[in-house]
Structures are given as structure tokens and as C-alpha cells.
Amino acid sequence: MEHARDIEAAKLVIDEPKRAFIPTTDGGLFPVRRVYCIGRNFADHAIEMGHDPDKEPPFFFQKNAENVDSSGEFPYPPETSDVHHEIEMVVALKSGGKNISEADAMSHVWGYGVGLDMTRRDLQGQMKKMGRPWEIGKAFERSAPVGPLVPISQTGPLDEGAISLSINGETRQSGDLNMMIWKVAEQIAYLSRFYDIAGGDIIMAGTPAGVGPVERGDKLQGKVAGLPVLDVTVT
Ligand code: MN
């Protein structure tokens, strides 16, 4: 009964939970199914987190679909005193499958946006130390601010171009998409070995160096060349 087509035939015993949608620049809404996030995908960020960028295969974690938020506000979350920004390109898939080849991977991309992988770094750090899952540090309410998605038909494939984040006008993160260790096509191919990926899935494609804390009242501005600017206020 998990599929939309089955719901009409069944009686929901509670109200249907809210679905997450991301607005698109062509006036539509992109329904979110899953949120995959790659870890340490820029060498300079891997180094700042204390890791060797050369020796690791890619790894992913997930946020919940309803953690995605396009309101332009990020309420400071509970049970933390060290929330970090991670500016990332968001890749939105229109289709998927299993064991997708790198050569075929980009044909599954609907478009791109600018996102933030907001992170309760103190909680993530505790979990890492104890060898426990990162979820409490990564998958929490409104932890994935995402700006409007642009169809790939308008942008072309984005393999290079500036990516940056400023707080209150001061640049904190800056890099280039061409610094990604695992390219988008490689990420899609890799994920599809382990999961049935599908339309509605989004991938947060990794963050360059310069991650750091945010405070209430901060105005975050995320940019990826060729995509609409993401403005988020910490409340
Ligand atoms: Mn990240």
C-alpha cells in the first residue's frame, strides 16, 4: 500500500503525512522521494575533517524526504550548540533503476538546485566517536534547505563552476564543482548498485572546505554558478 496508486483503493487510518516538494523554476513542484548525501566529496573538505581524501571509496548517508525545506528559514534545531553549514549542489532525478552505468547516469537527471546539508556537528562527532549512525547529526527537521530546481535542459550538465557560501555577506566556503572527487554520474552509478534509485530522489553532491557554525539571525547565501541563489535566514 505504499504506492500512490494504491491509496485511493484503501482507507487511510490517519491523515496522510505531508509530502515534501521543491519548487522548480518552470513553475512546477518536484516531489521528493529520498535524499542521498555524499560524504567528503571535496578533497579540501575531507582534509579539514581529518581524513585522507585519496584512500576512501565514496560513502553516502540519507536525510528524510520531509527534512527538505524551501521556505528560506532554518530554525535553529534542538539539542545542539554547533550547527554547521555545508553548501552543496542538489541533483534531482526524474528516473532511476539498478546498476546504472556511468555512461547512462546523466539521462536520469531532471535538474539541479542549490542546497544546504545542515549538520549538528557536535552530535555527529559524538556518534562518529562511538561508531554509531550519523542520523541524529544529519537527518533532523528542516536540515535540508533547497532552492528552486532548474531543468537540466536549461543548464546542461554541471561539472564545473563556482560553488560558495557566505554568511552576512562574508564568504565562508568557496570551491569549484570540478573539485568533486566523485562526479555526479559516478555517484548515480554507485548508488544504483546498492539501492533502487528512482524519480523523486535527490542527491546532495558534497561540500567544499570552509564548513563552520551558524548562529540565530545569520543570513546564509549559497551559490552555484548557473543556478538560482539560495537565501536562508537562521531563526
Ligand atoms: Mn554534506
Q: How far is Cα 227 from Cα 235, in angstroms, rounded to an integer?
A: 25
Q: What separation in Å is there between the alpha carbon of 65 and the centre of ligand 1? A: 15
pLDDT digits (tens, 9 = 90+) for 6-38: 666 678 999 989 899 999 999 999 999 999 999
DSSP 121-163: HHHHHHHHHHT--SHHHHS-TT-EEB--BEEHHHH----S-EE
Q: What separation in Å is there between the alpha carbon of 178 and the centre of ligand 1? A: 16
Q: What separation in Å is there between the alpha carbon of 157 and the centre of ligand 1? A: 21
Is residue 185 very low, low, confident or very high in pLDDT (cuts 50, 70, 90)? very high
Q: How far is Cα 139 from Cα 117, in angstroms, rounded to an integer?
A: 9
Q: What separation in Å is there between the alpha carbon of 115 and the centre of ligand 1? A: 10
pLDDT at position 206: 96
Q: What separation in Å is there between the alpha carbon of 59 and the centre of ligand 1? A: 11
Poorest-confidence range of 5-9, 144-148, 149-153? 5-9
Q: What separation in Å is there between the alpha carbon of 205 and the centre of ligand 1? A: 7
Q: What separation in Å is there between the alpha carbon of 170 and the centre of ligand 1? A: 20
Q: What separation in Å is there between the alpha carbon of 133 and the centre of ligand 1? A: 15
Q: What separation in Å is there between the alpha carbon of 84 and the centre of ligand 1? A: 10
Q: Indicate if the pLDDT at residue 1 is higher than 50.
A: no
What DSSP state is assigned to residue 24?
B
CATH of domain 24-234: 3.90.850.10
- All three cell numbers of 167: 554568511
In the chain, where the domains are located: 24-234
Q: How far is Cα 27 from Cα 8, in angstroms, rounded to an integer?
A: 27
Lookup result for grid cell 567528503: 40
Model pTM? 0.94
